[in-house]
Amino acid sequence: MASDRQIQKLIQEETNRQASTLNLIASENYVSRDVREALGSVLTNKYAEGYPGARYYGGNAVVDEIEKLAQARALKLFGLSKNTWSANVQPYSGSPANFAIYLALVPMGGKIMGLELNMGGHLTHGHRVSATGKLWKQVSYGIDKDTETLDYSQLLKIAHREKPKLIVAGFTAYSRVIDFKKFRKIADEVGALLLVDMSHLAGLVAGKSYPSPFSAKGGQALADVVMTTTHKTLRGPRAAIIFSKKQFSEKIDKAVFPGLQGGPHINQIAATAIALGEATAPSFKKYAKQVIKNAKVLAKELAYFNWRIISGGTESHLFLIDTTICGISGKQASDTLEAAGIIVNKNTIPYDARSPKDPSGIRIGAAALTTRGMREPEMKRIAGWIDTTLRGQNSKKIAKEISIFLKKFPLP
């Protein structure tokens, strides 16, 4: 690559950008050097359509070992027995993984019940602009207007009325603990399958800082299928894993390949295996705990500066701020912060009167900065920078302060 100066220069520029700005994007993180090296390894050269022991190309003996290791580590990390659960590590990312799950388990045109996109759901939970909403029918549920949290009795009513084939729990912009037991009960009452999309939460679940969607404390079984991307709080490469109870695994495997995908990206699978190994280390437990502590401090400090935090706080790695109460839209807030070296994303808030292109809020997450070693004192400082930037202080001056501050927190 050194010979492609143009790309080399751009990668260097992106490295500098990542190093010198505060990353508060809730779905991003910084992978280890080992994960990056696996992604850039010779494994990218190999075709391996099929599954371990049953490939369509020769030369896959080594690759089989890599994929089997990734599967075994995935089960181990979440305490799952290989007799009752399977892990498919081939999905290229979260969207195809969700698509493959519906392909396997919901007849075409069948109903998928998911949280509305503008309340914190995901496009692939059946939104009409996504193929998942064109090939299947979304029955949506919302967030309670007063508490800005899930209203499970409302969910039950919708489920009884609509009789979905599958219910999706797990969101992109919901800061509170999800009651998976209540979701299980609702699914059982209406005879639906329960899919938990724990993409945002996987690292917190792995680190034992968030309830498991697989089973409750007393051992009660919860989700039938759990999907996760691997690059958010789990801190792996961009990819996804589908965990399914044994009775669904064959259908899921067929839906991933040959149903939807072709050759798996073995470099990605090796990098996933490394990240799964890293997440079993005791230090990862500390990391997950610190992520939530950091998010809580950040939310509390911003509330102290009179910013309105949706639902009043957070119990996870992220939260939403309603910026309109201080007279600015989410887009203005995000653009202003970026000029000061603070990177967030604009986000709709529940019952948003504005459009997703220029919504009423921003989403903030603590996973990436916690990876860089930041703790509560740094979060307080960052809250101050966010507040003063949004209230119109000189963004260039703040950007300079931030880049100096970040020299103490190098990228992995």
Q: Could you tell me if 75 and 235 are in contact, meaning their C-beta atoms sit under 8 angstroms apart? A: no
To ligand DSN, the closest distance from the beta carbon of 347 in angstroms equals 9
162 catalytically annotated: no
Residues 259-298 that bind ligand DSN (CB under 6 A): none
- For ligand DSN, the binding residue among 50, 91, 94, 133 (CB under 6 A) is 94
To ligand DSN, the closest distance from the beta carbon of 124 in angstroms equals 8
Catalytic residue among 28, 37, 49, 315: 49
73 catalytically annotated: no
Q: Which of 306, 363, 304 is nearest to 174 (CA)?
A: 363
Which of residues 27 and 88 has its CB atom nearest to ligand DSN in the complex? 27
- For ligand DSN, the binding residue among 27, 209, 212, 324 (CB under 6 A) is 27
User: Judged by CB under 6 A, how many residues of this single chain contact ligand DSN?
Assistant: 4
Q: Measured between alpha carbons, how far is residue 367 from residues 110, 176, 316, 363 in Å? A: 36, 16, 10, 13
What secondary structure, in 3-state letters, does 164-178 show?
A: CCEEEECCCCCCCCC
30 catalytically annotated: no
Please give the sequence-ordered ranges of beta strands (E in DSSP) within 158-267, or none if there are none: 166-169, 193-197, 225-229, 240-245
Alpha carbons 118 and 369: distance in angstroms, whole number: 26
224 catalytically annotated: no
Q: Is residue 29 close enough to count as binding ligand DSN by CB under 6 A? A: no
Q: Measured between alpha carbons, how far is residue 248 from residues 118, 141, 228, 241, 243 in Å? A: 31, 26, 17, 14, 10
Catalytic residue among 73, 137, 176, 232: 232
146 catalytically annotated: no
Q: Strand order in 225-229's β-sheet? A: 85-88, 240-245, 225-229, 193-197, 166-169, 111-115, 137-141
Catalytic residue among 21, 172, 229, 348: 229
Residues 106-135 that bind ligand DSN (CB under 6 A): 122
Catalytic residue among 162, 197, 278, 301: 197
To ligand DSN, the closest distance from the beta carbon of 94 in angstroms equals 5
- Catalytic residue IDs: 47, 49, 197, 229, 232, 238
Q: Which residues bind ligand DSN (CB under 6 A)?
A: 27, 94, 122, 172
